[in-house]
Structure 1
Amino acid sequence: MNIEKILQALLGRVNYTREILGNKSRPELDAFAKEIAEFPEKNSDLPEDAAVRAVESLDNRLTTMEAAIDAQLTAMDKVRIVRHPQRASLKDILENVYDNYTEIGGQDEHSIDPGMLIARAYITRRRGKKIINQPVMVVGQEKGHGEEFRNGGSIKPWGNSKALKYMKVAALEQIPIHAYVNTPGSYPVEDFPGAAQQIAENIYEMAGLDVPIVAIFSEGGSGGAEAIGMADKRLMLSHGYYSVISPEGAAAIEGRIKSTERAPVELIESCALAQRITAQDNLAGGYIDEIIQEPPLGARADHFDFYKRVREQVIRATDEVALSVRGVRLFRAVALRHFKKNTDVIVRWSLNEKARERLVAKRFRKYRRMAQGAYQDNRSLMEKLSATSSGIVSNTASIVQYGLIKPFKHRIGRITEEFLDEVHVITAKVDAFFRSALKKVGVTSFQDKQKEMELTGLSKSEPEAVPLTNGTGYVSPQAREDREISCPHSKKRGCLDIWARDLFTDYAGVCPNCGYNFPMEYQWYLHNVFDQGSIREFNRDIASGNPTSFPNFEARVDAAKEKTGLQSSCLTFNASLEGLRLTCATLVANFRGGSVGAAEGEKFIRALELAQTKHQPFLAYIHGTAGIRIQEGVNGLIQMPRVTMAVRRYIEEGGLYIVLYDTNSYAGPVASFLGCSPYQFAVRSSRIGFAGPGVIKETTGLEIPPNYHNCYKALSRGHIQGVWSRKDIRKNLHQAFLTIGGRNLYYR
C-alpha cells in the first residue's frame, strides 16, 4: 500500500472541505492537516502493517469529521459544493449510471456549445436470462472539472437550441428524456436567437413533449435551469440548490451594490438562506419530488456508491412516470411502491397514443398545483363562491355553444360548401354566359357584390375611432409640469424642446420630430387604448406576499400596495377594443418594477383560463417588467413554466395570444410566457432582453453598447414582429386582432 499517496488523498479531502466552507477558520481541520504533514516523520519506524492501520485510523477520523461538518452546512456552503471543480460532472454520470452511450450534437470544445451535452444512452435491465436495453436521451449542462471552454455550464442560446432539437428527436423516437440541470444560469447574449426567446421556446415545446421526462437538479440557476428543467418527475441532489438567482446576484440587488464593488460575504450568506434554495427547502415547497442522497460534503468523481443511487432513483422515476399514465398497471405499481429497489420489476417506457395524451395533461396539472400557497387570496367567501358559480355557468355555456352547436354548424357548412362546389362545376359555363350578358348591358349581379364585400370585409372602413388623446378620462401627472422637455435625441436629430402639457396630452408622449416615445403611466393605456367604460377588472384581491419570509420584504410589498393602490404587479381585466371583447393581463412597472411572483403568475393563468372559457382573444400588455421577484425564490421562478403551460393550452385550444411590450422588459417573463407568443410587438423606444446591462457586466465582464436591448434589435432577430408608435397602438391592435384573428377572433 502506498502510504504517501493515501496521505496526499487525505490532505486533498481536508483542502476540499476548507474550500467549500469558504476558507472559514476550522481549528479541527487545521489540526488534522498538521497531523497528516507530521505523519511520515513521527511514524517512520513503524512496521508496514502498523503504518497501514494508523493511516486507516486517520481515514476513519476524517470520515467522522466530514459527517459532522456535513450536518452543519449552510445554504451557501452547498452553493460552493456544486460549483467546485471536483463535483461529479455529467460525463462522470454517463460513464457510471448508464450502460452505454454515444455523445451527439458535437463533442467537447468542438461542439456548437460545449456546455450543453447531449447523449443517446442505454440502460440495460435483466430479468432472468433475458436482457432488455432501454434507450434514453440524456441532455444536460456539462461543467467538466474546471474546463474553461465549457463556460461553467452557462449555456448560450444555440446550446439550448441544440438541447431542444434532440429532445424533439426523443419525442419522435418515443424514448424518455433524462435532463441533468447543472447551471448557474444562461449566458446573457442577445445575438440570434437571443437568450430569452430561446429559453421561452424550450419551455413552450417541452410542455408538449409526449414522452416521460425526468429532471435531476444539481445547480439550478434561474432561466438556465428552466430551459431543460420542465419534467414529469423532478429529482434533486441533496447538496444541490435551485433558485431564481444566485446568492451573489440577490445580495447585489438587495444591497444595491455597484458593478465595480462586491457584496459583503455576510449579505450573500443571508440571501442564500432567505431564498430557501436547498433541496430540502424545494422538497418542502413541492417544487421537486425526491432527493437523491449524496455522500457527506457532496458527490465527487470517485463516489461510485452515489452513481448506483442515481441509477436506481432515475430508473424508478422513469418507471413511475410511465406507469402513472398507463391503463393496466396495478401489480407493477404496488411492487414499485412497496419494493423500491426491486430490479425484477420491468416497466416498458414506450407509451401508446392515449397514454401520451394523459402524460401531457398530467404534466399540466402538476405545474398548475404548484405555488398555490405562495400568494394571498384576500377575496371574501361570497366573492369566492360567486367566482366559482360564474365559472361553472361560463364553462357550461362554453361547452354547449362551442362544443356542441358550433362543431355541428361547421360540419353542415362544410357539407353545403362541398355540394355547392360540385354544382358550380356543372353550372359554371352556363353561369359565365349569363354574367357576361348582364355585364354587357351594365347590370352587376347580387352575388358579385356579395363576393366583393367578403373579399374586403376585413379591411373595410370602420366608424371613426376615438381620437388618441387623454381626453377627460386621464391626464398624465407629467402634463401638469410647467416646463419644457428635451428629447434625449435632440443633439443628434435636432429635436426642439416641447412644453410638457403639449407633449403628454396632444402628442401622447411622442416626440413630434423623431418619434421617441417617452415613458407613460399604465393608466394612459387603460383610458386611451380600450373603449371608454369597457374595462372590468377581476381577481383584484389576489395579492403579492412574502412566502419565503425574506427579511424586511413584507414592508416593501405593503409600501408598493399603498403607493400604487394595486395588490400585485399584475392587473387582469376584460375590455373591448372597437367593440371587440378581449381579456387582458398587464404587468405594471410601478409595482416593484413589474416583477413577477406567485400572485402575478396565478392571476395570469386565471386570466388565460377565463379567455379560453369565454373564447376571447388575449392581450398581454407589459407596461414594464424587471423579471422574476427574487425575494420569493422558487415560488417566483416556477411561474416561468407554470404560466407558459397555460399559454400553450390556450393557444392549442385556438386562442389568439398577442403581447405588447413597453418601457423595459427583461428576464424570466420575457424568457417564458411572454417570449413564447407567436405575435409580439413593442412600443418604440422600449427595451427587451434577457438580462440588464449591469447583470451582463457582472456575469460576463462585457461592456455592452447602449442600443444592445433596443426593440429594433429584438425585431431584427425575430423576437418581436413589429415596432409601433404609442399614438398608433389602438389602431394597430385593432388591425392585428382583425387580420390575425380573422372574423372569429379566437379560433385559428
Structure 2
Amino acid sequence: MDTEKKLQHLQERLTYIKDIFANKQEEGVRLLESRLNETKERYNGLSPEQKKESLDTLEEFFVFMERKFETELTPMDKVRIVRHPQRITLRDILENVYDNYTEIGSLEDHSIDPAVLIARAYVTRKQGKKTINQAVMVIGHEKGHGEEFRNGGSAKPWGNAKALQYMKVAETENIPIHTYVFTPGAFPIEDTPGAAQQIARNLYEMSNLKTPVIAVFSEGGSGGAEAIALSDRRLMFSHGYYSVISPEGGAAIEGRLKAGERASSELIEKCAMNLNITANDNLRLGYIDSILEEPDLGARTYHYEFFRSLRREVLRATDEVYLSNRGLGLFRGMILRRRRKHIREAEDLDVCLVRWNLSTAAKERLVMKRHRKFLKMSRNATIDSRPVDRKLKSFFHELSWDIGSMFKYDIMRKQQKRISYALEEIEAEARVITEKVSSPWRKLLQSVNLKNTKQKEDEARMLTELSDWTMEEQQRGGQWSYVSPKSTEDKAVSCPNSHVYGCLDSWAPDLYGEFAGVCSYCGHHFPMEYQWYMNNVFDAGSIFEFNSELEAGNPLKFPGLDEKLAEAKKRTGLKSSCITFEARINDIKLVVALFVGTFRGGSVGAAEGEKFIRAAERARKKRMPFLAYVHGTAGIRIQEGVNGVIQMPRCTMAVRRYIDAGGLYLVVYDTHSYAGPVASFLGCSPYQFGIRSANIGFAGHGVITETTGLQIPPHYHNVFKAMDRGHIQGIWDRREARFNLQQALLTMGGKNLYYR
C-alpha cells in the first residue's frame, strides 16, 4: 500500500471509530484525531522514507488504541459495528471465502429482492493428488456498503421465497447450504404472500431439508433472521448480535413511547445489555454452536486473515455435519476436533476429509438430529413447578402412549391396511363379475319397480351427508353456556361502523349476551373473553387441562419483568399465556393450544413454546386432531430475548413432526394476531381460519410506519385482507365457530380418521 492510500485508510479507520462510539471514548478519539492531523500537516515536507516511517508509527498507535477500545465495547457498540457501511458483506465473503461462484437472479438493483443474494459456489480442496471441487449453495442477506436499494438487508416476502426456492434446489442436487444472516429484521409488509406467511413457509420447509445447513450470524434480527437460520450448525461473528428485537425497538416498548417519540441513548444501551444479544450471551444460552473471533472493532474488507479464518470454520462445520451423519468417520472426526484446537497451515485446511454427499438413511438421521437439537433448546428457561412424582407419572403416561400408538398404528394398522387393500381388490373384481351376471335380473326388477323408494332416498342421503347435525343446534339459539360479564352493564354500546352502516346502539345485556358480542346490524365483532370460546365452542364438561404447572418466567432477569408477570398471573389466574387441554366437539376428541390475549398480550416465551410443543406431541402420540385457537397474540415476549424467538423454529418443528406423522392441524385466529407466532408455527398450518374480529399480520401499524415510513390503510390486517392474500382459508362468524370447527374437522379429517 503506497503512503497516500495508507493515509486515506487511516482516515477511514478514524471515521469508523467515531461512528461506532458516537459520543463515547471522546478522549481516545481526540488523541487519535490529533495524531492523524499532525501527520497530515507535516506530511508534504517529509521524504518518502520519512513518510513511510511516520505512517507506520501512526498505524501502530491506531492498533494500540483499537485494542484498548475493544476491551470496552458494550452490546450497543457491537450493534453499531454490524450496521456500519464498512462492515464486511456477503459479496465480500463470496469473493474471499469461496474459490468460484455465480450469482443467481441478481444484478445490483435489478433483482426480485436486492436484500437477498443467492450464489452457486465451489470450494477447491485436495484429496491426495486429486483436486476436489465441492459445490455449495450460498444464501444470505446483502446489505452492501451503503447501497440504499438493498433495504439494509431487510428481506421482503418474495426475497425469502427466492431463498426457499434455492434451498429446495440444493436439496435436489444433494449439496450443502451456507446461509449468512445480515439483517435487522424482515420488511414488515403484507403484500402477497405476506411477510409472516412466507417466513412460516421457510421455517416449515427448512425443518425437514434433507441436506446440511450451516448458518453464520452477523446481525440476526427476530423473524427476519429465522427465515434462513434454521440449521444444523450455527456460527456467530464475535461482534455480531442475535436478538428478538432491535435495542431501539425494545427501548420503545419498555419506555412506552408514543408515535414520533425517540428513546434516549441511555435506555437503548440498557435494553441492549438486558436483552443478552451478543455472541457470548447466545453461546452461553445454547443458541449458537461456536463464535468466530473477529479483529478488533469488527471485521472489515481489508481483514484478509479473518476471511481465511471464516473459510476454515465454515468448512470444518460442514465436514462435521457430514461425518456425524454418515456413520463411519472416527479418525477423521478426531482430526477435525484437533483442528478446532490448533490452527493449521492454509494447505492443511483445504484437505478434503469427507465428500459432501449423504445416503438416504444419512439424510433421515440428519433431519432427526436437527429436530432433537432445536427441541432441546430453551427448556431450562421454563419454570416447571410439578413435584418429582408428577413428572415421573407424566413420563410414564407418555411412554405408554408411545408404546400403545406404535403397536396400534405402526404395527397392527399397517397389517390391517395391507389385508384391507387386498380384500378391496378381490371385492372389486368380484363386483364386476356379479354386476355382469346380475344385470339382466336387475333390469327386470327395475321394470316392475320392486325396490323401495324410501330405501333409495336413505342410500342417497348416506352418500352425501357427513352426519345428522343441524345449524340451529350448533348455534344454540343464543343460549350460551358462558355469557360475558360485560352483559351485566346497564348501558348502550355504539358500533364503530355506525357512521357507515347506520347501526343503532345496542343494549349491553343483549349485545354481550344473546348476540355473543356481534352487532346485529352490520356483523361487527366486539372483543370477547377467552372463556367464551372455551365454554361455548367445546362440549360442556369435556375440557381436561394438562401441563398447567409450566409457568412463564424471567430467564434473562430482565428488569421489571417479574413484577409484570406477577401482575398478569394475579389478574388472569393463569401461569402463562398458553392453555393446553383436551376437549370434544360433539364427541370428536381433539387437543387444543389456546393463546390468551389478556396475559401479556398473548406474547410467547419459553413456557408458552414448551407447552405448545408438548401439546403437539400429545396429539401425535394419542392420534388426535390438533387445534391452535388464538384468542390473541402480540408476538414473541421480547424480555426473554432469544429464549423467546427460538420458539419460532422449535414449535414449527413440533408441528412438522405432527403433520408428517399424519395429523390434522387447524388454526383459528381471533382479535389481534401478529409477529413471530404467526410467522412460524401458526402460519405454517395448511388450514387457517379467522373469526371476523381478527387482525392478522407480521407487524402492527405503528411498527410498519416507524420502520418503513409507509402509511398503511386502517384495515390493512383484517381477516378479509388476510383472505385476499391467501393467509387464511375461511372467515367465520363467532356464533358459528362451533359449527364451522366441527365442519372443518369432519371434512378435512374425516368422521373417524384424523391420521393418514
For 1:456, the equivalent position in structure 2 comes to 464
The counterpart of 2:396, out of the listed 389, 396, 402, is 389
Residue 743 (structure 1) shift: 2.8
Distance of 1:469 and 1:421 partners within structure 2: 47
Query: 1:400 corresponds to which letter in structure 2?
Result: F
For 1:122, the equivalent position in structure 2 comes to 122
Aligned residues of 2:97 and 2:308 also touching (Cα < 8 A) = yes
Q: Secondary structure at the match of 2:335?
A: helix
Residue 466 (structure 1) shift: 5.8
Deviation by residue 1:683-735 (Cα, 9 ceiling, x = unmatched): 00310000000000110011111010011000011000000000110000000
Distance of 1:245 and 1:41 partners within structure 2: 46
Q: Secondary structure at the match of 1:143?
A: coil
For 2:111, the equivalent position in structure 1 comes to 111
Deviation by residue 1:450-509 (Cα, 9 ceiling, x = unmatched): 864652351544697465478574331111110011111011101111110111111111
Aligned residues of 2:478 and 2:515 also touching (Cα < 8 A) = no
The counterpart of 2:556, out of the listed 532, 538, 548, is 548
Change (3 A) 1:461 1:436: farther
**Of 168-177 and 392-401, the range deviating more from structure 2:** 392-401
Distance of 2:333 and 2:303 partners within structure 1: 31
Residue 219 (str. 1) matches residue 241 (str. 2): no
Query: 1:666 corresponds to which letter in structure 2?
Result: Y
Aligned residues of 2:125 and 2:352 also touching (Cα < 8 A) = no
Residue 345 (structure 1) shift: 4.6
Say what the alpha-carbon RMSD is for the aligned residues: 1.7
Matches within 5 A, 1:407-486: 407-444=414-451, 452=460, 454-461=462-469, 465=473, 467-468=475-476, 473-486=481-494
The counterpart of 1:693, out of the listed 701, 708, 720, is 701
Deviation by residue 1:332-370 (Cα, 9 ceiling, x = unmatched): 111111234453352111101000011011100000010
Distance of 1:12 and 1:532 partners within structure 2: 71
Aligned residues of 2:537 and 2:737 also touching (Cα < 8 A) = yes
The counterpart of 2:670, out of the listed 662, 681, 686, is 662
Deviation by residue 1:384-439 (Cα, 9 ceiling, x = unmatched): 12211211222221112112222222111111100011112222222333333333
The counterpart of 1:575, out of the listed 564, 569, 583, is 583
Aligned residues of 2:498 and 2:504 also touching (Cα < 8 A) = yes
Residue 107 (structure 1) shift: 2.0
For 1:349, the equivalent position in structure 2 comes to 356
Distance of 2:751 and 2:252 partners within structure 1: 50
Deviation by residue 1:535-576 (Cα, 9 ceiling, x = unmatched): 000000100001111111111111111110000000000000
Change (3 A) 1:447 1:315: farther
Distance of 1:717 and 1:463 partners within structure 2: 29
Residue 539 (str. 1) matches residue 561 (str. 2): no
Gaps of 5+ in 2: none
Aligned residues of 1:561 and 1:568 also touching (Cα < 8 A) = yes
The counterpart of 2:620, out of the listed 612, 615, 619, is 612
Gaps of 5+ in 1: none
Residue 46 (structure 1) shift: 5.0
Change (3 A) 1:529 1:311: same
Query: 1:499 corresponds to which letter in structure 2?
Result: W
Q: Secondary structure at the match of 1:736?
A: helix
For 1:706, the equivalent position in structure 2 comes to 714
Distance of 1:641 and 1:597 partners within structure 2: 13
Distance of 1:294 and 1:25 partners within structure 2: 21
Residue 135 (str. 1) matches residue 135 (str. 2): yes
Distance of 1:470 and 1:524 partners within structure 2: 13
Query: 1:223 corresponds to which letter in structure 2?
Result: G
Query: 1:385 corresponds to which letter in structure 2?
Result: L
Aligned residues of 1:596 and 1:636 also touching (Cα < 8 A) = yes
Residue 716 (str. 1) matches residue 724 (str. 2): yes
Aligned residues of 1:666 and 1:689 also touching (Cα < 8 A) = yes
Residue 196 (structure 1) shift: 0.4
Distance of 2:356 and 2:30 partners within structure 1: 51
Aligned residues of 1:617 and 1:745 also touching (Cα < 8 A) = no
The counterpart of 2:738, out of the listed 724, 730, 744, is 730
Residue 95 (str. 1) matches residue 95 (str. 2): yes
Query: 2:373 corresponds to which letter in structure 1?
Result: K
Distance of 2:224 and 2:752 partners within structure 1: 38
Q: Secondary structure at the match of 2:667?
A: strand
Residue 330 (structure 1) shift: 1.3
Q: Secondary structure at the match of 1:669?
A: helix
For 1:244, the equivalent position in structure 2 comes to 244
Q: Percent identity?
A: 57
Deviation by residue 1:224-250 (Cα, 9 ceiling, x = unmatched): 000101000000011000001100000
Q: Secondary structure at the match of 1:668?
A: helix
Distance of 2:457 and 2:370 partners within structure 1: 52
Deviation by residue 1:169-190 (Cα, 9 ceiling, x = unmatched): 0001110000000000000111
Distance of 2:508 and 2:43 partners within structure 1: 87
Aligned residues of 2:635 and 2:675 also touching (Cα < 8 A) = yes
Residue 679 (str. 1) matches residue 690 (str. 2): no
The counterpart of 1:641, out of the listed 630, 633, 649, is 649
Distance of 1:528 and 1:468 partners within structure 2: 9
Deviation by residue 1:571-591 (Cα, 9 ceiling, x = unmatched): 000000011000000000010
Matches within 5 A, 1:249-264: 249-264=249-264
Task: Count residues with an aligned counterpart.
Answer: 748
Distance of 1:729 and 1:87 partners within structure 2: 52
Distance of 1:515 and 1:324 partners within structure 2: 58
For 1:743, the equivalent position in structure 2 comes to 751
For 2:13, the equivalent position in structure 1 comes to 13
Distance of 2:630 and 2:440 partners within structure 1: 57
Q: Secondary structure at the match of 2:513?
A: coil
Query: 2:448 corresponds to which letter in structure 1?
Result: V
**Of 576-585 and 428-437, the range deviating more from structure 2:** 428-437
TM-score by length of 1: 0.97
